Amino acid sequence: NAGVTQTPKFQVLKTGQSMTLQCAQDMNHNSMYWYRQDPGMGLRLIYYSASEGTTDKGEVPNGYNVSRLNKREFSLRLESAAPSQTSVYFCASSALETGSYEQYFGPGTRLTVT
Amino acid sequence: ILNVEQSPQSLHVQEGDSTNFTCSFPSSNFYALHWYRWETAKSPEALFVMTLNGDEKKKGRISATLNTKEGYSYLYIKGSQPEDSATYLCASTNTGGFKTIFGAGTRLFVKA
């Protein structure tokens, strides 16, 4: 039982390049989330998915797109990376459908955009 | 958008000291309050989730209380140990359950 996994762990992009961050969970959770974490700030919600086939914007969605490929996987795409998107990205999942609000986090992806 | 505020930003204590942190959150549309422990180079791990006014939760030397009417929660650590050194995150979930807003965290340093 791996929990929540993320790939890659580190990535350096040039401004304008695109990439997809991958996230998968093996806990059969319906809900999945993408956050970014910047110095001095809390985790900020980018997008979330309440269930397979649905996605919704969070607090800071601009510049990102997401795909809930199936129940296990939730990917985050940067179409044209900008230096302001340099951050650590965390994926999380929870079993809201069971009334559990506890979120389980992946190890994070450290992204640098130059 | 909810604003979750945590204080202090950082705290340095000696081994054996007891300490506490504060989390304040808007009480309107409140549904759940979370505390997470986040060690450097790891991912956040849930400590407690509380939903009811007056809730108190305890796990070993760590405990938390919740006041939803006035919008605050306290996290207490009794007899701090060096392994308690971490960032403690507070987060509030609104009704509906999907939008969870995190505070910036309290960074605890426990010196042996």
* Window from A66-80, B45-59, B86-100 with minimum mean pLDDT: B86-100
Neighboring chain B residues of A105 at a CB cutoff of 8 Å: 43-45
Least CB-CB distance to A42: which of B32, B49, B105? B105
pLDDT tens column, A7-21: 999 999 999 999 999
**pLDDT the model gives residue B2:** 53
pLDDT tens column, A24-39: 999 999 999 999 999 8
- What are the CA-CA distances from residue A75 to residues A21, A64, A90 (Å)? 6, 10, 11
Q: In the predicted model, is pLDDT for residue A100 greater than 80?
A: no
Q: For A37-49, what is the mean pLDDT?
A: 89
**pLDDT the model gives residue B1:** 45
Q: In the predicted model, is pLDDT for residue A72 greater than 90?
A: yes
A84 phi/psi in degrees, rounded to 5: -65, -10
Report the C-alpha gap between A9 and A98 in whole angstroms.
30
Query: Residue B60 carries which DSSP code?
Result: T
Report the C-alpha gap between B87 and B104 in whole angstroms.
9
Per-residue confidence band for B73, with pLDDT thresholds at 50, 70 and 90: very high
**Residue B78 amino acid letter:** K
Least CB-CB distance to B102: which of A4, A42, A56? A42
